[in-house]
Amino acid sequence: MNLQIAGKVALVTGASQGIGRAVAAGLAAEGVRVVLCARNEGPLSKAVEAIRLAGGEAFAVPGDVGSARGVSDLLATTTRYYGAAGILVVNAGGPPPGPAATMSDEAWAKAFELTLMSAVRLSRATLPAMQAAGWGRIINITSLSVRQPVKNLALSNALRAAVTGFAKTLSTEVAAQGITVNNVAPGYTATERLNELFKDPATKQAMVDAVPAKRLGTPEEVAAAVVFLASQQAAYLTGQTILVDGGVVGSLL
C-alpha cells in the first residue's frame, strides 16, 4: 500500500526509545523526514543514527515539551531544518504511578504540564501551517487507561483522558480543513516504561495472562497504527481513539 506521505515532515516527541522511537522509524521508512525530540540526548542520537543507517532522513532535537518554551524552541528548530511539520505525533512520557488519594498538588501540576499541555501546545503551534497547507495529521499516544483505568496510575488515567477529550474537540474544529486528529491507545507493550512500572515477574505474567492475545504488544505494532493514521488513506478517520491492546479492553465502545 502506498501511504502517500513520502516527503512530508513529521515531528515525534518522546522519540528516544520505545513506542516513540518505533513511530519515528516507521514514518521514516515511508519516506517521511522525521524530527525526533526527547530529553535524553544520548538515546535520541542513537535513534536518529539507526534511522539514517536504514536509509531514512531524520535529525534530533533534545528538549522538554513539558514547557511552553520547550515547545517554541522545538518548532523553531524543526521549521529551520525541514520546514513546517505536517504530521505531529505527541508521545509524552507517562507520569509517575500512585493512587489518586495521595498524589500531591505538585505531582498533579507537573503531570498536567507534561501530559495534557504538551499535547495542547504542540497542536496549537503546528496547526497554522497545517491549515495553510490544507493537510495535517495530529496523533496522540495515550493508553488503554482512557477506556479502562489502570490501578495505581491515577495521574495517567486522569490526564490521558483529558488529552482524549481535547483531541476529540479539536478534531471537529479542523476536519473541514483536511486535518485529522486521532489517538492511539496502547495496551501492555514491551517497553522500558512497562518494565519500570511492573518489576515483579509474577505481576508481569499476570498481565500477560489477562491479555486475550496472551502476549505483550511490541512498539512496532503500535507504530503501525500511528503510521496508517498519518497516511492519506486515513483522511476520513478523525476524532477516534484506536486501541492497540491485544483485546484487553472489554467495552464495546
Instruction: Give yes or no for a contact between 7 and 231, defined as CB atoms under 8 angstroms apart.
Output: no
Domain ranges for the chain, please list them: 9-189+218-244
Residue 79 has φ and ψ, to the nearest 5°, of -65, -40
Can you name the CATH fold of 9-189+218-244? Rossmann fold (3.40.50)
Q: What is the number of helices (H) and of strands (E) in the chain?
A: 9, 7
Which tens digits make up the pLDDT trace of 215-235? 999 999 999 999 999 999 999
CB within 8 Å of 252: residues ≥ 6 apart: none
Of the candidates 218, 106, 234, 119, which has an alpha carbon nearest to the alpha carbon of residue 180? Answer: 234
Going 123 to 129 to 131 to 133, the CA torsion angle's sign is negative
- Residue 60, H or E segment: strand 57-62
241 pLDDT above the threshold of 90: yes
Residue 94 has pLDDT above 90, yes or no: no
- Mean pLDDT of the 125-137 span: 98
The C-alpha cell that represents 85 in the structure block: 511539520
Mean pLDDT, residues 9-25 taken together: 98
Closest CA to 38 of 53, 58, 57: 58
For all residues of the chain together, what is the average pLDDT? 96
DSSP of 172-191, one letter per residue?
A: HHHGGGTEEEEEEEE-SB-S
Weakest-pLDDT range from 95-104, 107-116, 118-127, 190-199: 190-199
> Structure pTM?
0.96
For residue 24, the model assigns a pLDDT of 99
DSSP 8-state class, residue 146: G
